[in-house]
Amino acid sequence: MFEGVWGEMHVEYDVFKKQFDVTPLLKGLPNDRDPCPHWGIVVKGQMRIMYDGVEEIAKAGDAYYFPPGHTGVAEAGTEVWEFSPNDKLKETMEVIMRNFEGSAKK
């Protein structure tokens, strides 16, 4: 994984070795959904995104936009470049990390 901050944007390269559903980690955010928008490119694999009653699939080679109020699942073997507003991502990640630490203690 690579991550860095370019100006006001957070940039990362993620590799999901196994299926990853972020939904349980979003508990406590507005409507238990991610309020941070994300733009990205799927390098390998696929991701499923759900928002406003819509479900979309982003596959290898696709560029994507995940609007505020979403959740998603990355399939095993998926690799993505993702770009997010740094300030909004920080807020989301604080909740995700708190939920992750809480689930690890169980």
Q: What is the DSSP letter of 55?
A: E
* pTM for the structure as a whole: 0.89
In percent, the amount of the chain with pLDDT more than 90 equals 90
DSSP strand E in 1-51: where? 2-6, 9-16, 20-21, 38-44, 46-51
Q: Which domain holds residue 36?
A: 2-104
Question: pLDDT tens digit string along 33-64?
Answer: 999 999 999 999 999 999 999 999 999 999 99
Specify the pLDDT at position 78.
Answer: 98
State the CATH number of the domain containing residue 83. 2.60.120.10
Number of domains making up the chain: 1
